[in-house]
């Protein structure tokens, strides 16, 4: 295993340090430190000299020395539920990674399995062992008050991706979940559907409530009464969608369209419908939420709602980083917009069958 005593012709050029930069720029190391940390009270001409030297040497501050000396770790933790269907988390991960790279931070991962009786201990251990400056909490963890309380106690700033907004200085991003649900329901109504089923998501997710509200509002606006037998509980899983769909399709007067609170449950719905020999969208229109890969890979492909998850994650992470850098940050004033992606799982309802 490389036991050959290979002579090193070039003894591996050592990375330049702050001293090298200081010498080249003709200033003290402290001044270099000020420039690279964007501190004030540096004469523009000095700044330029230092920047030129940094450039010339391709200098990068040594992260370890920085951490050891300073009070920051330049590390952000991403704590998430490790799901079966990773496409949401993949997007969150990509967005957070992007923001961290831009801000010079490192992203550390803590996947959790829920339900977890040791949740708080696990988070506690992660946060203290990994020496984090801040934490990003995607849904549904962002809604867990225990975690928020713990992080507040430890005085660790955090940012959440969740439909539920919190206190004044709370860092979180939302998207127009309620509106999207309204839009997709209205879309079905415009296609002539009057008997509209709804499958709720896992109540632990804030989005569940919002999506349900959008459905209700669309019914109200269209003057369609809410029928409780058309609303079923689900858990965001394929199986739960299948079960809920079974109940809906077993009704004496089943819905002609079903709004499932995510794509997995919509896939379950389609699965159940096909097992019964129903044609989609001929006999039943189905819509989902999230535009996960499965939405376009089942037959028929799903009409669904796409959210800008990557952008949301990136945005909230960079907000967190700016807060960590001491900037005064305002919470985002506007939720991100979602939009309906129309595919083959929905279609016109020829007969106005609600008048029978």
In the range 197-216, which residues lie near DNA by CB under 7 A?
Answer: none
Q: Choosing among a second copy, DNA, none, which partner's interface includes residue 108 (Cβ < 5 to 8 Å by kind)?
A: a second copy
Q: Shortest Cβ distance from residue 47 to DNA (Å)? A: 7
- The helix (H) or strand (E) run that includes residue 51 is helix 44-57
DSSP state of 354: T
Residue 46 contacts DNA per CB under 7 A: yes
Residue 340 contacts a second copy per CB under 8 A: no
What is the C-alpha separation between 176 and 147, in angstroms, rounded?
Answer: 25
* Whether 272 contacts 249, CB under 8 Å: yes
Question: Alpha carbon of 179 to those of 132, 176, 203: distances in Å?
Answer: 36, 5, 19
Query: CA nearest 210: which of 219, 200, 220?
Result: 200
Q: Choosing among a second copy, DNA, none, which partner's interface includes residue 71 (Cβ < 5 to 8 Å by kind)?
A: DNA
* Whether 276 contacts 304, CB under 8 Å: no
Question: Alpha carbon of 235 to those of 11, 199, 201, 245, 265: distances in Å?
Answer: 59, 9, 5, 13, 8
Residue 1 contacts a second copy per CB under 8 A: yes
What is the C-alpha separation between 59 and 74, in angstroms, rounded?
Answer: 18
C-alpha 42: how far from its chain's center? Answer: 39
In the range 29-48, which residues lie near a second copy by CB under 8 A?
Answer: none
Intra-chain end-to-end CA distance of the chain, in Å: 81
Question: Which one of residues 106, 124, 191, 342 is an interface residue with a second copy (CB under 8 A)?
Answer: 106
DSSP state of 341: E
Q: Choosing among a second copy, DNA, none, which partner's interface includes residue 298 (Cβ < 5 to 8 Å by kind)?
A: a second copy
Q: Choosing among a second copy, DNA, none, which partner's interface includes residue 84 (Cβ < 5 to 8 Å by kind)?
A: a second copy
Q: Shortest Cβ distance from residue 43 to DNA (Å)? A: 4
- The residue (of 90 and 179) whose beta carbon lies closer to a second copy is 90
160: β partners = 137, 172
- The residue (of 7 and 326) whose beta carbon lies closer to DNA is 326
Count other Cβ atoms within 10 Å, centred on residue 235: 22
Number of residues in contact with a second copy under rule CB under 8 A:
46
Residue 220 contacts a second copy per CB under 8 A: no
Q: Shortest Cβ distance from residue 67 to DNA (Å)? A: 8
Question: Which one of residues 2, 5, 11, 43 is an interface residue with DNA (CB under 7 A)?
Answer: 43
- The residue (of 71 and 252) whose beta carbon lies closer to a second copy is 71
Residue 336 contacts a second copy per CB under 8 A: no
Helix axes 119-130, 145-153, angle to 10 degrees: 30
What is the C-alpha separation between 295 and 341, in angstroms, rounded?
Answer: 10
* Whether 341 contacts 120, CB under 8 Å: no
Question: Which one of residues 24, 31, 173, 349 is an interface residue with DNA (CB under 7 A)?
Answer: 31
Residue 30 contacts DNA per CB under 7 A: yes
* Whether 213 contacts 163, CB under 8 Å: no
Question: Which one of residues 48, 55, 118, 275 is an interface residue with a second copy (CB under 8 A)?
Answer: 275
Binding residues for a second copy, per CB under 8 A? Answer: 1-2, 12, 60, 62-65, 67-68, 73, 82, 84-87, 89-90, 93-94, 97, 106-109, 111, 129-131, 155, 169, 238, 264, 267-268, 270-271, 274-275, 293-294, 296-299, 328
In the complex, which residues of this chain contact DNA (CB under 7 A)? 14-15, 17-19, 26-31, 33-34, 36-37, 40-43, 45-46, 59-62, 65-66, 68-71
């Amino acid at each position: 295993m490389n036991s050959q005593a290979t002579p090193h012709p070039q003894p591996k050029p050592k990375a330049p340090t702050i001293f090298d930069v200081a010498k080249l720029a003709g200033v003290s190391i402290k001044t270099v430190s000020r420039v690279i940390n964007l501190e004030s009270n540096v004469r523009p001409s000095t700044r330029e000299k230092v920047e030129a030297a940094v450039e010339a040497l391709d200098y990068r501050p040594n992260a370890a020395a920085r951490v050891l000396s300073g009070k920051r770790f330049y590390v952000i933790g991403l704590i998430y539920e490790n799901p079966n269907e990773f496409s949401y988390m993949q997007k969150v991960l990509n967005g957070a990674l992007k923001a961290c790279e831009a801000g010079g931070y490192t992203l550390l991962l803590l996947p959790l399995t829920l339900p977890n009786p040791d949740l708080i201990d696990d988070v506690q251990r992660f946060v203290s062992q990994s020496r984090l400056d801040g934490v990003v909490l995607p849904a549904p963890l962002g809604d867990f008050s225990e975690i928020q309380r713990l992080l507040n106690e430890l005085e660790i700033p955090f940012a959440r991706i969740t439909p539920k907004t919190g206190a004044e200085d709370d860092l979180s991003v939302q998207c127009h979940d309620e509106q999207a649900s309204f839009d997709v329901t209205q879309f079905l109504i415009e296609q002539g559907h009057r008997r509209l089923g709804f499958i709720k998501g896992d109540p632990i997710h804030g989005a569940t409530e919002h999506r349900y509200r959008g459905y209700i509002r669309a019914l109200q606006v269209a003057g369609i009464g809410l029928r409780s037998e058309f609303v079923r509980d689900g858990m965001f899983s394929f199986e739960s969608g299948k079960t809920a769909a079974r109940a809906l399709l077993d009704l004496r007067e089943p819905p002609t369209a079903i709004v499932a609170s995510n794509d997995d449950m919509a896939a379950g719905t389609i699965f159940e419908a096909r097992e019964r020999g129903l044609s989609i969208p001929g006999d039943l229109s189905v819509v989902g939420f999230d535009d996960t890969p499965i939405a376009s890979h089942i037959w028929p492909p799903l009409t669904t709602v796409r959210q800008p998850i990557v952008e949301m994650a990136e945005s909230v992470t960079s907000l967190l980083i700016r807060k960590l850098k001491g900037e005064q940050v305002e919470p985002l004033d506007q939720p991100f917009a979602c939009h309906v992606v129309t595919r083959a799982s929905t279609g016109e309802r020829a007969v106005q069958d609600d008048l029978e």
